[in-house]
Structure formats: structure tokens, C-alpha cells
Structure 1
Amino acid sequence: MQGPGLDELVRTKKFLFFGGKGGVGKTTMAAATAVWLSDHGYNTLVVATDPTVSLSSIFAQEVGETEITPIGTERNLCGLSINPRKALGMFQSRMNTMMDGFSTMFGSELLSTPCTEEIAAFDQFVSFMGDTEHDKVVFDTAPTGHTLRELSMPFDWSGYISNQIESRRELSEVLGFVYDEGMIDDLKQEKARYDAAVKALSDTDTSSFNLVLLPEKLPIDETERAVTDLGGFGIRVRALIVNEIIPQDAIRGNAFLERRRATQERYLNDIGTRFRDIPRAEVPLFDSDIYGLDALRKVGGVLYGR
């Protein structure tokens, strides 16, 4: 690790986010971090917002999609995998209650925009940004592009809803519909929830957004774009985790591994140049799959110390 210790970073922040390109090991790093924190006495919740991954697989046990699930025999570790389709049902139910009577008049258009399912998942994610039950909340986020869309869409969606309501004021009056100003107030409160969530993401006192990458060209390029794009939301990347580095002592004269490691070295130097101001940690390529608490503890030991 270069710069401040990564263990200090996770000890001092309430919300820990792990993002990056698909397939670089975000879930592994998030799960390993959650286990490490739990082992060190923190009441920890790990939340997966990526619909393509499974906390159940990496923890080798069932992890709920609607209810928070205890993990292992640890008394202070639990998890939840947000399922966008199930989140959509809860989101629609809440919105229908909030806008009762309005959708009867205007149909279901307001809850059937192309990105509603993603907004619903983000809406559930937002609820955990107000968590008061856990010492630490670890987020395994969707691939970077998806995460950035989720950060921007709630505001586009909120604006869309407000515009729809405003544009139909006159129509509602013509049709004799009694317009409820409380609906706009409710929508303003929804917007405020999203504003607060993104503000919490950018609050370096409480949150840390970390990116995982491989020592390869495409992940490095995407990481560079992500650092810039996240900066546009006021979110500063606090640490990089470079995953799957071939250990030197595993090469043992193997020409193929020597070439691969030499290539990785070039990319590690590139990472050091491009992201010189961001602390980083390096995680070796392990000789077996990483799943289950014991394996995750090995990764946590590398990241944060034993």
C-alpha cells in the first residue's frame, strides 16, 4: 500500500464502496473487507448492488434478496443482494402509495420509464445510506458505467416526474381533477433523499469509494475514466486495489509466467504514473478460487493485515 494504510481507511469510514470494470474482483474485495471488519469487532453489513453477481456464491451460503441475512456463525456480519426486479416491486408500491389517486388518472406511465428498474435498485441502495444499525456498510457496486448511470438517473427521473406533474396541472383543472400539492412535496422529499445519498458518497469523513482493477490496459483505461466521471459527482476515489498480480515466487523459470509478469510490471508502472495521487494496494493471484470465509480472510489479510 502506498500512502495511508488501507486498514486505517476502512476503520475510519462508515460507508465503503468497491467499484470498477466487470470481472476485476469487486465482489471479492467487498466481501473480504466485510469479513475483516467483522473479525475486528465491527457490526458489518455488505450490500451487493450488481445484479450479475452473487453474495451467496462468494460466501458459500444463501444471502437474501429482500431480507438482510446473517452470514456464517459471525454475530456481527450480514448481507443483502439487491435484486432489481424485486426492488422494482417495492419501489412501485411505495410510489403508488405516495401518489395515490394520481396514477389512477394518468395511468402507469410515470412508473414505466425505460430505466425504472435501475432507479428502483438505486432507491433501495439509497435507503442504506441512512443506516444507523451497523458500524460499517460495505457496498459491492455494479460495473462502473452502470454505477454512474445509477448516480445520474435519479435526478433525471425526478425531473421527469416533476415535469409531468407540472405539465398536467392545466389538464387536471380542465377535467375537474382536484390537484394535490402534497404530491409535489413528496417528490421533493424523494429528490432530497437522492441528494443526501450522493452528498454522503462525496463526504470523505464518512465514505470511501475505492476502485478495483487488473494490471491490464482496458481496466486501467476504464479506471481512469471512472476517476474523472466520479469526480464530476464530487466523489473522490480514495484507494485503488490492483488485483491478480502474479507472485514472483510462483514463476520458477516458467517462460510464460515470466512474460505475463513482465507485462504486468509495465502496467503497474503505468498505474503508478496515471494515479500517482491515489493510494493503492496490490493483491496477488491466488492458486485457488476465492469463496467462503476462510479464503476471504486470506484476501483481507493481504489488504489490511492479519
Structure 2
Amino acid sequence: MGIIAMRINNLGYLIKEGIRGIFLHGFMSFAAVCVTVACLLIVGSFTCLTYNITLMVEDLNKTNEILVYVDEDLSDAEARSVGTLINKVENVYKATFVHKDDAFESFVETYSDKDSLTGVDTNFLRHRFVVILEDNGQFQQTIKDLEQVEGVAKISAARELAEGFTTIQNVLQIASVAVVGVLLVVSLLIISNTVKLAMYDRREEIAIMKMVGATNSFIRLPYVVEGFTLGMVGAGVAFGLEWFLYELLRNRMAAASTLKLIDFVPFQELLLPMIVTFFAAGLFVGIVGSWTSIRKFMDV
């Protein structure tokens, strides 16, 4: 029991020394936490954005609907007759004609400020066909075939939008790896330097402890505790800020009628992976940053 009590007392002393080291160099500790917060905020933001764009791309890729706009110079009867040619295109399951007046009414129903559209001429819209495909795997070829149909002026497909989002997604992934890599290195360096300052101030004490037989683990632990604490504090602050900023942005975007296309999921859906990501990164930066700074002081 005496040995166990002594070990517990030693552990308490070492943890207390680690916490003391944080306040001993308050400015460097503050800088380490701030850089860790900035790093994790950027990591979290890229992760949230990429996740939401991935969901949008998946939803858009599931659609098998294409809007085919006919030449605006065609009469109503001529515009309707284009549907016969569209239905003959391979892989077209069904083509439904939508008159421009009906399209305008649908547009008005989805627009928040209906009064501002009173008296607007519907001629700015075109007759269109809503085309349903049989097989999405032949999407690109079907688009090419539809473009060759006489009377077709323009084709709009959600899949094209999905490809645009996919490009953005790929750019974000590449950018996130580069930015996160740089910021992780900066965080490691600052935490490492913070711990080095604490060890430099106590270098004579460390030398004496080594000479009287203190183990490397006994000497290292306070500094590992210091790095761990800095990393965890940074992770906690960053997580809280990420949650607040994400929900603020999501609510603002939901309220903006021009951004209805971008519908972010609630942060609760991302809660578990974000907690794991933030605190694992904080743990890594804190412990690795402190551990790498200890080595040079271990040789007496």
C-alpha cells in the first residue's frame, strides 16, 4: 500500500508540475492554443464543407431528369411536336411538355416575393420538356443525342451541376491536405518551443534529477502533461467555435432564398466524427509536440 500511495503522490506531483509549466510561460502557451484552434477550425471547416458537398453530389447524381428547352421561335404546336422526336431518342423513357406559362406559375410559387413578379411577361421563359432517362449510365451520350434533335435550343441537367460540385470537392480536398499539413507543423513547432522553454528554465534541475537516478519517464511526464493539456484546450475551444460558426452559417444560408440549392445538414449529424477528429488532432499535436522537444534535454 505504501508503494502504491507513493506512486499516486508522484503522479499527482508530476501532473501538477505539468500544469504549472503552462502558466510559467503564459504567452507561449496562449500562442500554442491559438494556433491549434486556428488549425483545427480550418480542418473542421474543410471537413464540414466537403461532407455537405459530397451529399449534394450524391443527391444530384441520383436524378435521371433532364430539362430540354425548345427554340423560342417555335409556335406552341411546333414546340409540342419536338416531343415526338425527343421520345425517339435512345434511353429516353418519357418526355413531358411544360408550357412556358405553366413554368412561370411554378416559378412564382417558389419565389418569396410574389408581388414583385406581377405583370412580368412570361416570354422570357421557354417551352420545355422534362425528360426522364431509363439508364443514368448513358447520361452523357443521351445528352449528345438530345442536342442533335431539331428544335432543341438548350439542355439543363442536374448531373452537370453535380460535376461542378465534384470539381469543387476535389479542389477542397487537395487544398485541405496542404493547409492542414502546414498548420499542423506550425502547431507542433509552437507547442514544442513552449515545452522547450519550460525545460530550459529547469535544465539544472533535470540534470540533478538524472544524476540521482530519476528515470526518463519521471522527468518527461510533466512536459507531456503540458503538451497534452495545451492540445486538449485548443481542441475544445476549436470544437465549440466550429459548432457555433457552422450553425450560424447554416441558418443564414437557409434564410437566403438565393442559396436554397445549398442545404447543409445539422451539426448534430457531424457531431461524433468531429469530436473524434478534433480531439485526436489536439492529442497528436500536444503529445508529439512536447515529446519531440524533450529529447535534447535527456542527455546530461
Give the TM-score range, shorter chain.
under 0.3
Q: Which has the higher contact order (CA 8 A, sep 6+)?
A: 2
TM-score of the aligned structures, taking structure 1 as reference length: 0.22
Structure with the larger helix share = 2
After TM superposition, the score normalised by the length of structure 2 is: 0.22
- Higher-Rg member (1/2): 2
